[in-house]
Amino acid sequence: MPRLPDTDLATGHALAERLRDSVATLPIALAPRADIRVTLSSGVARREPGLAAEQAAADTDRGMD
């Protein structure tokens, strides 16, 4: 899980969207003339001071439901 210290939520969302777009447009060759495309889902959350990284990750996962 990437962590982006000193990054606000808007910038985090923009970066996640750019990454999603990049992955979606990247063909993956399985065999000659057999490309597939994949998608990516991500979550962005702000980690409050004192909150454990594991709890922040769990909060982010719950936000994707």
- Domains of the chain, residue spans: 9-63
Smallest CA-to-CA distance from 41 within 11, 16, 58 is with: 16
Position 15 scores a pLDDT of 93
Report helix, strand or coil for 56. helix
CA distance 42 to 2: 11
**Phi, psi (deg, nearest 5) at residue 58:** -65, -40
At 18, the amino acid letter reads: R
Position 65 scores a pLDDT of 65
**Phi, psi (deg, nearest 5) at residue 43:** -130, 150
Whether this prediction's pTM lies above 0.75 is answered by no
Position 23 scores a pLDDT of 92
Q: Give the mean pLDDT of 16-39.
A: 90
pLDDT over 80 (residue 63) = no
